Chains A and B, each alone.
Chain A
């Protein structure tokens, strides 16, 4: 099973340095641990694979929008991964991409209708970016790279954790832009969660003039750049610490021998 993962993830791994030298865990839950680490950090769809940047950059003006689109994407990802995994043995490989796209489009339509019915305000706020989830490369990427080669339970978990990784980055970027831009958090949360959520709105500081740059698209690019830089910095530091660790042990041995 671990061989299987290494093979299927090789597509994305070529961009991710972190995954190449981490040995896959073994055992019954090892697979799930690997998936978790990949989805949230080592192979995060937004930070490492850099997939689905269009919605990522377009709708992260506020935490609410980011959370709404993130959850919608996650649900589509889980649904499409499970379905693709279930039909994987019946689909001829020549036409697998059109089939995957049809599956994804079905789930996006479902989500869109649900949002239209239950979170109308958010539906209006996200606009074209809900139907555009179909074109989010992260979804078809997971269908192709993972779900089409693995059983449905694992695929469902992969969809969930990849969606979660994507959502976390969306929310982080949304929070950064909302705080810098207008000094609030969870502005308009009632669009997503219902009327009670109006009280969730936190005003961190009052601004007379919003910093429009953060709210406009350039702010998304800048913020994304900073998040990716921060991730690479953390990875680099970990790498250095790992390299230094054996050297420290040797030093200690010498000290005790004296």
Chain B
């Protein structure tokens, strides 16, 4: 019989990275199902392609770095990276988009920085930003939710669209994005709610006029609100399982709510309100799944709160005044850059080593 000798805390559940990452992946299932329901088979296809690419890239990198492939592949971090990137990109984006993105995430962002636990940036978000910068057209071609277009794209057509960007009848992705408005035009290309608000505001419309569009059927955009609520549910599971701490998601959501509340109080006609900010775009998946990445996030509790507020501030500023409609990826990456300095100034003081006391006491403890 052997005893496991460890430092305190002694009463804890020993969980491996592999277990944690598996729970994170499982907790994404509600969100993925919601996305599949509203945006069709494309989501599933992207996930399959992403996971396959991620494991292939991971295996090649581990081989090249002369590490144990089995050990590395089992820790499920590549799986989570692949899932996060796959659900972040438009469901009908061409197949090579996700392959390039995931390969970049795994090879450059993760392994060139030293592999699991060493990466400075969140791999999925760095991959996303690479894609967004490189292929702006493909990366903004989001489909409107199915109940708006009325055309339910079958699995076969989804594959066809991903491979060739045309259906077997010859309709392009652009045509699949058309929504019949019955108004002045026969049909318009529909964007995401955040995209829509942005382009309307730039054309001089007020916010309340913009919210009349068919995509704002519910609180914060048809489909999107449910996707966000599903990720919120998944995030609550993560909290309940104690996979993540409450600090980062709560500080992001509270700070974003405060900023959005202030903004809409000051300029109700140009700055979207609390509901839009919290339930549209990638807010929930960002707060619970992306920003909480244990490697690239701040490590102390106080640091996590600061990190969360910083992300919320960046999300709000970029969404409202920046060049892109959604900003979770940029906000997380910029906050990742600040983590070393946040960690330096929020390092908890060891018990008995009060501020300044350690200097005078001279190590007498």
> Are B133 and A222 in contact (CB-based, < 8 A)?
no
Q: Which of A173-222 contact B (CB under 8 A)?
A: 209, 211-214, 216, 218, 222
Taking chain B's interface residues, is the majority helix, strand, or loop, or is none over half, making it mixed? helix
Checking A212, A218, A222 against B135 with a beta-carbon cut-off of 8 angstroms, the contacting residue is A212
Which residues of the other chain, A, contact B137 by a CB distance below 8 angstroms? 209
What chain B residues lie within 8 Å of A222 (beta carbons)? 108
Q: Which A residue sits closest to B138, measured CB to CB? A: A209
Interface residue from B100, B133, B138 paired with A218 (Cβ < 8 Å)? B133
B134 is an interface residue with CB less than 8 A from chain A = yes
| Residue of A with least CB distance to B97 | A209
Q: Chain B's nearest CB lies how many Å from the CB of A215?
A: 9
Interface size class of B (residues with CB under 8 A): under 10
B130 in contact (CB, < 8 A): yes
Q: Interface 1/0s, chain A 92-122, versus B by CB < 8 A?
A: 0000000000000000000000000000000
Query: Is the CB of B136 closer than 8 A to any CB of chain A?
Result: yes
Interface centre among B100, B135, B136, B138 (most CB of A within 10 A): B135
Q: How far is the CB of B51 from chain A (nearest CB, A)?
A: 23
- Given the complex, which residues of A lie within 8 Å of B100, measured CB to CB? 211
Contact with A along B166-209 (1 / 0, CB 8 A): 00000000000000000000000000000000000000000000
* Chain B, residue nearest A216 (CB): B133
Q: Taking each of A212, A214, A216, which has the highest tally of chain B beta carbons within 10 Å of its own beta carbon?
A: A212
CB within 8 Å: A-B pair count: 17
Central interface residue in A209, A211, A218, A222, by most chain B CB within 10 Å = A209
In the bound complex, residues from chain B placing their C-beta under 8 Å from that of A218 are 133
Nearest neighbor of B108 in chain A, beta-carbon distance: A222
Chain B neighbourhood of A209, CB < 8 A = 135, 137-138
State the Cβ distance, B23 to closest chain A Cβ, in Å: 33
User: Contacts of A216 on B, CB cut-off 8 Å?
Assistant: 133
Give the docked Cα–Cα distance between A160 and B108 (Å): 35
Q: How far is the CB of A102 from chain B (nearest CB, A)?
A: 40
CB of B296 to closest CB in A, whole Å = 18
Determine the chain A residues whose CB is within 8 A of the CB of B138 once the complex forms: 209
Bound together, the chains give a CA A209 to CA B97 distance in angstroms of 11
Instruction: Tell me, in angstroms, the Cα distance from A222 to B100 when the chains sit together.
Output: 15
Contact with A along B136-149 (1 / 0, CB 8 A): 11100000000000
Contact B136 A212 (CB under 8 A): yes
Instruction: List residues 307-334 of chain B with CB under 8 A from any CB of chain A.
Output: none
Residue of B nearest to A210 (CB): B134
**Min CB distance, B93 to chain A, in Å?**
11
For the complex, give the distance between the alpha carbons of A216 and B132 in Å.
13
Interface centre among B108, B130, B134 (most CB of A within 10 A): B134
- Residues 114-157 (chain B) with a chain A CB within 8 angstroms: 130, 133-138
A218 to B108, CA, bound (A): 13
Q: Bound state CA distance, A218 and B100, in angstroms?
A: 16
B134 touches A213 (CB 8 A): yes
CA distance A216 to B135 in the complex (A): 12
Q: Are A211 and B108 in contact (CB under 8 A)?
A: no
Roughly how many angstroms separate A222 CA and B136 CA in the complex, as a whole number? 20
Min CB distance B183 to A, Å, is 32
Q: Mark A212-236, 1 if CB is under 8 A from B, else 0.
A: 1110101000100000000000000
Chain B, Cβ-Cβ closest to A215: B134
Q: How far is the CA of A213 from the CA of B104 in the complex (A)?
A: 12
Contacts of B134 in A (CB 8 A): 211-214
Min CB distance A194 to B, Å, is: 33
- Nearest CB on A from B172, distance (A): 13
Shortest distance from the beta carbon of B113 to any chain A beta carbon, whole Å: 11
Name A's B-contacting residues (CB within 8 A): 209, 211-214, 216, 218, 222
**Top-10 shortest CB links A-B:** A213-B134, A212-B134, A211-B134, A213-B133, A213-B130, A209-B135, A212-B133, A216-B133, A209-B137, A209-B138
Between A and B, 14 residue pairs with Cβ closer than 8 Å are A209-B135, A209-B138, A211-B135, A212-B133, A212-B134, A212-B135, A212-B136, A213-B130, A213-B133, A213-B134, A214-B134, A216-B133, A218-B133, A222-B108
Apart from A212-B133, A218-B133, 15 more pairs, CB < 8 Å: A209-B135, A209-B137, A209-B138, A211-B100, A211-B134, A211-B135, A212-B134, A212-B135, A212-B136, A213-B130, A213-B133, A213-B134, A214-B134, A216-B133, A222-B108
B interface residues (Cβ-Cβ under 8 A, vs A): 100, 108, 130, 133-138
